[in-house]
């Protein structure tokens, strides 16, 4: 693994940024036009992944960083759960659901791997 000098170097953050961009794109569609609550919740959850990775990194302690990574991973699960509501309401297609769900799952796996790495360093 390369040296991390800023949060933008973290692969999980990069992947979360990509997921957030995709979530904003799909929720900007007219299918979400009347469901402001779900649209905003999906956007907040996706954005929360990125923000918590960055905030945890800025804390400069391994223990704090790991705590924020757990929060980021929980936000990825929130995105996945909200996607079920979106598909159930026919706001997204099955193809969109599968692609976004997979992206959120990949982000979650990356965060989990990073947590394990950091916890190993701190033992």
- CA terminus-to-terminus distance, the chain: 19
pTM confidence score:
0.93
Q: Which residue ranges form the domains of the chain, and what is each CATH number?
A: 11-121 (1.20.1440.60)
Burial (CB count <10 Å: 0-12, 13-18, 19+), residue 83: buried
Helices H / strands E in the chain, number of each: 4, 0
Tens of pLDDT, residue by residue over 30-87, are 988 889 999 999 999 999 999 999 999 999 888 999 999 999 999 999 999 999 999 9
């Amino acid at each position: 693994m390369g040296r991390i000098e800023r949060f933008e170097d973290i692969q999980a953050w990069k992947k979360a940024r990509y997921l957030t961009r995709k979530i904003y794109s799909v929720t900007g569609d007219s299918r979400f036009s009347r469901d402001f609550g779900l649209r905003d919740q999906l956007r907040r959850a996706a954005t929360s992944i990125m923000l918590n990775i960055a905030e945890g990194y800025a804390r400069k302690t391994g223990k704090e960083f790991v705590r924020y990574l757990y929060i980021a991973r929980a936000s990825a699960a929130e995105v996945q759960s909200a996607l079920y509501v979106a598909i159930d309401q026919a706001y997204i297609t099955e193809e969109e659901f599968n692609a976004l769900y997979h992206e959120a799952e990949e982000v979650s796996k990356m965060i989990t791997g990073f947590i394990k790495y950091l916890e190993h360093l701190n033992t």
